[in-house]
Amino acid sequence: MSVFISLLWLAIGSAALYYGAEWLVGGGSKTAKKLGISPLIIGLTLVAYGTSAPELVVSVDAAIAGEGGISIGNVVGSNICNIALILGLCAVITPLTVNRDMLKSDVPVMAVTAVAFCLIYWWQDGVGRSGGLILLAGFILYNIKVIVGAKKEAAANSLNEPAEEDGEKAEKPLYLYLLLAALGLVVLVLGSKAFLKGAIGIAQLTGLSNTVIGLTIVAVGTSLPELATSVVAAIKGERDIAIGNVVGSNIFNILLIMGVAPLIAPLTGANIQFWDLVALLATTFILIPFMITGFRLNRAEGVILLAMYGAYTAWLISCA
């Protein structure tokens, strides 16, 4: 692939990522307003699960092909990237206020799921069907909690909201915002594929090995939808969506993807090292003190997260 074609793919991918994220964040926040729930709930569910679609497809395809290592590595690498790179970058761009309800309920769920995954991995030397069932049950329970909470929040808000102006709902019905969010998601996924194709083309022209490309560019590639969405949300002031997207994606990646994939075929033969799991737990648990102090992620903490991701990536390359 020539330099021009690679740069063209990068340009197309960048534009698609930007507009896809704009539409997904805009449609998601308007959907939350229409439903009478907080943008955080939308970020934890609709946005988070949608932007994790590439990880789901990659991991399920890998399980079907008998490549358990790719399936597990994809989830571990994506979760580390989501926290250290994406939240770190967002916090550097603009300090992120932390929703206290999320800190008390959803962040602990994210931490517990990370620990549960590591225990299952060491217990089964991978993730077998029994481990997958445990994680999938956790995903179902978590979503029941979120749905019940959303219904309570919507009911409470409906009692306190002022009456809408005549014709407001008719002019902008809910389905239009859902369609906008769905369109944004599709454009995001296509944009990530185009950007990744261009980035790999440039990397190959510079002489980087396929191993290094896989550990760096491809690893970040499946997290591009989360990256674009959270950055755009942070810039637009939708901080609950920015953080909720990452927290919800990490929960989704472990509980659903690692719950479904091993049911297709047990995920064995993964070359996940001890320090990969340490990095997963470290990036997960460092968020708790960061979020508790002032209930925000500030720029200094964002720099620390980015430095952690840089150190982890450098270690991966050195071990390649």
In this predicted model, what pLDDT tens digit does every residue of 78-101 receive, in sequence order?
Answer: 899 999 999 999 999 999 988 888
Model confidence band, residue 299 (pLDDT cutoffs 50, 70, 90): very high
* Type of residue numbered 105: S
The residue that leads in pLDDT, 111 or 201, is 111
- Lowest pLDDT segment from 51-55, 242-246, 303-307: 51-55
Name the average pLDDT for the chain: 83
The pLDDT value given to residue 70: 75
The pLDDT value given to residue 157: 67
The pLDDT value given to residue 93: 92
Model confidence band, residue 110 (pLDDT cutoffs 50, 70, 90): very high
The residue that leads in pLDDT, 206 or 137, is 137
Q: CA 246 to CA 81: how far, in whole Å?
A: 10
167: left (phi over 0), alpha (psi -120 to 50) or beta: left
Mean pLDDT score, 23-36:
80
Model confidence band, residue 21 (pLDDT cutoffs 50, 70, 90): confident
The pLDDT value given to residue 6: 84
The pLDDT value given to residue 168: 45
The residue that leads in pLDDT, 169 or 55, is 55
Kindly state the tokens that stand for 72. 């597990």
The pLDDT value given to residue 140: 94
Model confidence band, residue 166 (pLDDT cutoffs 50, 70, 90): very low
Is the pLDDT assigned to residue 207 strictly greater than 50?
Answer: yes
